[in-house]
Structure 1
Amino acid sequence: RNNPLALQYFDNVLRLDSTNLEAREFKGVYYKRRGEFEKAFEVYRDIVARNPDYSNAYFDMGMIYLEMDSLSRAYDNFNIAVKTDVLFVKAYYYRGLCAELQGNVDAALADYRQANGMSPDFLEAKEALERLKKKQ
């Protein structure tokens, strides 16, 4: 998880194949887990510069922004993630969470319904949907 050898491994993979976006993504995750958000953002921005449709990079940036309490930026990144991958269930859920935290209950409900409809076993989405329905 925080093993510095992991970073060497990702760098070695990228030296062998500079187009390997998955290795880049894992490098970004490594930085995120260490709390090195700026380095993680650099990696994710590099990924989307290489492939603007790489939805995981937007999702990962959204998760960092959410952790930083930058809800509008988190929402924007989750929004791009669902536009680049319409089946990205977790991105719908987290976009809904951002909407809920910003007071936009209707948007939150729509996203929770979408996530729950796509993946009925996704407990967080199901619970969020039930919680918000009770508030209405």
Structure 2
Amino acid sequence: MRKITFLLFATSILTTIFFLTACGNDHPADQDADGPVLSGDDEIDQVSQRLAQDPNNAELYALRAEIFYEKNSYDQAIADMTAALSLDSVNIDYHHLLTDIYLDYFRSRLALQTMERAVAIAPEDIDSWLKLSEIQLFLKMNQASLASIDKVLRIDPQNALAFFFMGKNFEEMGDINRAINAFQESSEIDPEMLDTWIKLGQLHASIDGNLAEAFFDNAIEVDSSSTIALSAKAEYLWDQDNPQAALELYKIAIRKAPMDEKSYYNAGLVLLELDSIPQAYQHFTMAIENAPLYAAAYYYRGYASEVMGNTQQAIQDYEHTVRLAPDYVQAREGLDRLKK
């Protein structure tokens, strides 16, 4: 099944396609009088050499685009996908791959337009409607997203992911009761959908804390190794003024995923609240070791150092925070406080 993803993007696919196709013969065959221009990457160059022999092969352009995409070479991937689509404009898989590239390259409007073309070409393709709905959801086009979901449910009335996206739309629109109903329908169709149980727990926590914990437990039962499910329940317990229980869940999450910086960071925050400052310092240090650019972890490690009276370490961490995030107000305030 084709990957369904989302992120935010901008600009216009038509401009990109016009420009790249207008460049025509200069683009992807990558050859001069002596043969293809090689990049030095064996995997890419092998496909380039094949393209030099077969320059009208759409599959080869798509293959090379996927390799470029995996290597985060987005411009080259987009150029190759444009060439592939110019040769095979009705290939839905190509539309999905180009959309994924645009999404990861922060080009949401281009991704949107690509999927709009895909559903126009294949109006019965459920994956395309779902991906279009998800992109519309992220672009705050809630009514359009719900309309796309309606298309899915006309084809497949028991599509759990469609009901999940419906719930997300209603949640964003502030209609919590309809959101809960949609998520509930999704969970009944597919009880193994982890995110649905988490959303039900979070929404019930916002209106009725007595029911929320059971939904978080269902999520953990679906996947006991999921740090997302464990952290969601921990956050709920913390909000319910039970930081010790929250801390135990964060510790479980750390044991299951020792490279997950977020669990160390959250555990550190709970430890600060519990006045276990040295332990909090250690957890923030582990978060930093796993994610050296984690500005908030530097700030709170600095704060822990300040509380323990280690002024020099606190200043170093506050300064590092500001280097990573110049607008981090609390870190600047900490520096002003300590330097004065």
TM-score of the alignment, normalized to the shorter chain, above 0.5: yes
Give SS of 1:30's match: helix
Deviation sequence 1:58-81 (CA, Å, 0-9, x none):
111111111121211111111111
Residue in 2 that maps onto 1:63: 269
Deviation at 1:5, TM superposition (A): 2.9
Q: Take 1:4 and 1:57, find their aligned partners in 2: how far apart are those partners? A: 25
Taking the aligned partners of 2:211 and 2:299, their CA distance within structure 1 comes to 33
Match of 1:17 among 223, 230, 233: 223
Q: Unpaired segments of 5 or more residues in structure 1?
A: none
> Is 1:86 the counterpart of 2:292 in the alignment?
yes
Q: Deviations over 1:14-65 (max 9, x none)?
A: 2333332112111111112222233212211211111111111111111111
Count of aligned positions: 134
Match of 1:54 in 2: 260
Select the structure of larger CA radius of gyration. Answer: 2
RMSD of aligned residue pairs (Cα, Å): 1.6
Residue of structure 2 in register with 1:31 after alignment:
237
**Whole-Å Cα distance in 2 between the matches of residues 56 and 85 of structure 1?**
9
Counterpart amino acid of 1:122? Y
**In structure 2, how many angstroms separate the alpha carbons of the residues matched to 1:81 and 1:21?**
15
Kindly state the Cα deviation for residue 83 of structure 1 after the two structures are TM-superposed: 1.0
Alignment CA distance shift 1:4-1:81 (3 Å)? farther
TM-score (norm. length: structure 1): 0.89
Q: 2:336 aligns with which of 120, 124, 130?
A: 130
Identity %: 34
Q: TM-score, normalised by structure 2?
A: 0.38
CA distance, structure 2, for counterparts of residue 96 and residue 21 of structure 1: 26
CA distance in 1, matches of 2:210, 2:322: 38
